Amino acid sequence: MDFTEAYSDTCSAVGFAAREGNVKILRKLLKKGRSVDVSDNRGWMPIHEAAYHNSVECLQMLIHAAVENGQINVVRLLLRHGANVNGSHSMCGWNSLHQASFQGNAEIIKLLLKKGANKEYQDDFGITPLFVAAQYGKLESLSMLISSGANVNCQASDKATPLFIAAQEGHTKCVELLLSSGADPDLYCNEDNWQLPIHAAAQMGHTKILDLLIPLTNRACDTGQDKVSPVYSAVFGGHEECLEMLLQKGYSPDAQTCLIFGFSSPMCMAFQKGIDSVSDDTLIFTLEFTNWKRLPPAVEKMLATRATNSWILQQHIASIPSLTHLCRLEIRSSLKPEHLKSDSFICQLPLPRSLHNYLLYAEVLRMNDVPELTALQDGEISEAT
């Protein structure tokens, strides 16, 4: 055997693709998990083939795969053969430092930084390796990048910061490290200049992170014009504990009118969420105890919004309450609140049994299958008569 000649039966498929410079085939093979360190009869691996045939893009893909698999010896070999440490190796523009940060491989991060990897290299979404570490909770990666001087207040294309994404994802230790390293909790994280890390923590229900951010965040967001209180975020996310924390720390329950969400107060948002969370049947059942043609404007607006997706609800809201129903409401409104706490008072009124039934919404209860209440009511009526 001539050891200076490459024999086809000893070369891996990855090696063949690298030799031919066939990026498309190489990408498919790497996606399937094919090894990048299989050598041929000469001891050549795919990186040697790519380097010898001057296939720069194949070299970049191979270093990306080596970093992803934590193969530091392969990474060293690739770098020794001229692989571009700052080249983009993925469809979204990640370089090897992005990948190493995502994998949490401290040894490879250290090697890449030593070889001059750009700490502030941005992918197609403006995301840096430090942002990736914060997003995926890779504390060791984050610590190494911060120690190397990476910008803790970098912003992605949508203006999100590492602190914002760590707060959103619930990575408490990363949030603590970022704050102690100078991350700004008052740096707006969206184009409308209102969203802060505190909003992300409140919306996602991360109480420990919220507790860290409350004393550090400027209170201008509480009731400031053109801002959005984190109280809205807690209500929107449905996290009562976060809401309670904010209110106990002095955030206003009335906040400010929020044009972004379309609500005049957090209470209106809570009411809308309540409407959205129940079924059409439940809403219609509730409306049967009211004059649905005389509701507060804010409630009418919310019901109208919900009704756009429900023909049954539209029909009910459009219907006219009967005169008998309006009389029932008027009679009940003339009674004292304590009299309405029990059915027995109405059952003792000097009225026919049919009117007792009607005043107690017997037909509404029966239509909606409320047997316990119906049975109780029938028992009281029997005793009264």
pLDDT digits (tens, 9 = 90+) for 296-328: 887 888 888 888 888 999 999 999 999 999 999
pTM: 0.66
Phi-psi region of 245 (alpha: psi -120 to 50; beta: other; left: phi over 0): alpha
Residue of 56, 64, 49, 58 whose CA lies nearest to 23: 58
Distance in angstroms (rounded) separating the CA atoms of residues 176 and 133: 14
9-67 pLDDT, tens per residue?
A: 556 777 677 666 677 777 787 777 676 656 566 566 665 666 565 666 777 777 667 66
DSSP tally for the chain: helices H, then strands E: 26, 0
Show me where the domains of the chain are located: 1-84, 278-318, 322-385
CB 68 within 8 A of CB 99: yes
Contact by Cβ (8 Å): 203, 239: yes
Summarize the confidence of residues 102-112 as an average pLDDT.
90
144-187 pLDDT, tens digit per residue, is 999 999 999 999 999 999 999 999 999 999 999 999 999 999 99
Give Dmax over CA atoms of the chain in angstroms. Answer: 115
Cβ–Cβ under 8 Å, residues 230 and 224: no
* CATH superfamily for domain 1-84: Ankyrin repeat-containing domain (1.25.40.20)
**Other CB atoms within 10 Å distance of the CB of residue 316:** 17
Cβ(72)–Cβ(95) under 8 Å? no
Compute, in degrees rounded to 10, the torsion defined by CA atoms 375, 377, 379, 380.
170
